[in-house]
Amino acid sequence: ASITSSAENEFVLSLLSESVFNGSRGPWLGGIQPAGSSEPDGGWSWSNGDAFDFTGWLEGEPNNICNGINADRIHFGSPSGGLGGIVGWDDIPGADSCVPPPNSFITEWSADCNNDGIVDYGQILDGTLADEDQNGVPDCCDQGVPCSSPSGEDCNANGVLDSCELEDNDCNANGIPDDCEKFDDCNANGLGDPCDIAAGTSQDINADGVPDECQCIADFVSDGVVDFQEVLAILNDWGPCGPPCPPDINADGVVSFVDLLRVLLAWGPCDP
């Protein structure tokens, strides 16, 4: 494993238990020091090519502990043994060591065979993806078929869990990708009505889920004409107005000049 930040270092430390320590020797990491590097702290790198910018050395490390033997590997060390004291990085020879070697190692999983943005091994551990042959690869990837979660949360059967493709694809925030839902499209612009409203391309003043341009919200008498009937109703209910309150076109709990203005602007036959 490579460790490239303090946060990642703390996370890995939180995974350790006493059983992974051999005295003061904790698990191997993926740090290596090529032969010929300046000793003791020159040339260190990660075996996977990650940048070696962050370090978590114990105080006084690296120190090339075995005189004459290149301490060219990194492990978690614990001067007091186990997790009872400070734990940090220590250098140690990869072979022919003068001290007892670590008896465990940290493995970092990064494979994402179904390209859903989640590491496969984590999905195997939490039961999202099956791995019946226990080879660390989801069965669906072994078999070359789309990966669906056991709970069926892949509504469009594209091999990506619904929860992983909601960004910019769940306009009504119900946890279901938009392409798995059938929305009304009253203005025929190619966007479902909830998506129009969520994107702000359509208003929904009365909060009924229908874009305002697809209905005549000022004609709350519903006779196809905005006229004095609406004006009289507004004047009659002027002021605070609890639901149901048709004259409260703005749906703000108050019949006011805002509602009257909407009636005046929509005056006449009203056919959305």
| Residue 105 placed within a domain | no
Predicted pLDDT at 235? 92
How many domains does the chain divide into? 3
Q: Indicate if 159 and 226 belong to the same structural domain.
A: no
Give a yes or no: residue 44 inside a domain: yes
Per-residue pLDDT for the chain (272 aa), expressed as one digit of tens each?
A: 899 999 999 999 998 999 999 889 999 999 999 989 998 999 999 998 899 999 999 999 999 888 778 899 999 999 988 888 899 999 999 887 788 889 998 988 778 888 877 888 888 888 878 888 888 888 888 888 777 654 457 777 776 777 777 788 888 777 788 888 878 888 888 788 888 888 888 878 777 788 877 888 888 888 888 889 989 988 999 999 887 888 888 788 898 998 888 888 888 887 66
Residues 65, 27 share a domain: yes
Residue environment code for 143-159, b if the CB has 16+ CB neighbours within 10 A, otherwise e: eeeebbbeeeebeeebb
CATH of the domain at 79: 3.10.100.10
Residues paired with residue 89 on neighbouring β-strands, in sequence order: 57, 76
Out of 135, 160, 180, pick the residue that ends a domain.
180
- 169 and 126 co-located in one domain: yes
pLDDT, one tens digit per residue, over 157-182 is 776 777 777 788 888 777 788 888 87
- Residues 229, 162 share a domain: no
Q: Which of 125, 160, 180 is the last residue of a domain?
A: 180
Angle at the Cα of 73 (from 72 to 79), degrees rounded to 5?
115
Cα of first residue to Cα of last residue in the chain, in angstroms, is: 63
* Same domain flag for 246 and 174: no
Alpha helices in 112-212 (DSSP H): 120-125, 139-143, 193-199
Residue 221 belongs to domain spanning: 216-269
What's the CATH number where 249 sits? 1.10.1330.10
For residues 160 and 236, state if they share a domain. no
For Cα atoms 179, 126, 136, give the angle at the middle one, nearest 5 degrees.
Answer: 100
Q: Are residues 153 and 85 in the same domain?
A: no
Answer yes or no: pTM beyond 0.75.
no
Residue 232 maps to a domain = yes
Q: Do 225 and 152 fall within a single domain?
A: no
CB 62 within 8 A of CB 90: yes
Shared-domain flag, residues 164 and 120: yes
Which residue is it, tokens 């075995």? 66
In sequence order, the 6+-apart residues with CB closer than 8 A to the CB of 37 are 43, 44
Residue 11 inside a domain? The answer is: yes
Residue 209 lies in a domain: no
pLDDT on residue 62:
94
- The reported pLDDT for the residue numbered 126 is 82
Do residues 11 and 87 both lie within one domain? yes
How far are the Cα atoms of 39, 41, 74, 225 from residue 36, in angstroms, in the given order? 8, 12, 17, 90
Number of C-beta neighbours around residue 186 at 10 A: 16
Q: Please indicate, yes or no, whether residues 224 and 170 belong to a single structural domain of this protein.
A: no
Residue 194 forms part of a structural domain: no
Per-residue confidence (pLDDT) for residue 272, from 0 to 100: 61
* Same-domain pairing of 54 and 82: yes
Does residue 35 lie in a domain region? yes
Domain end, chosen from 180, 201, 236, is at 180
Q: Which residues pair with 31 in a beta bridge?
A: 46
Can you read off the two tokens belonging to residue 123?
């999905």
φ/ψ of residue 45, rounded to 5 = -150, 170
Q: How many CA atoms lie within 13 A of 163 on its CB side?
A: 8
pLDDT in tens, 42-56: 999 999 889 999 999
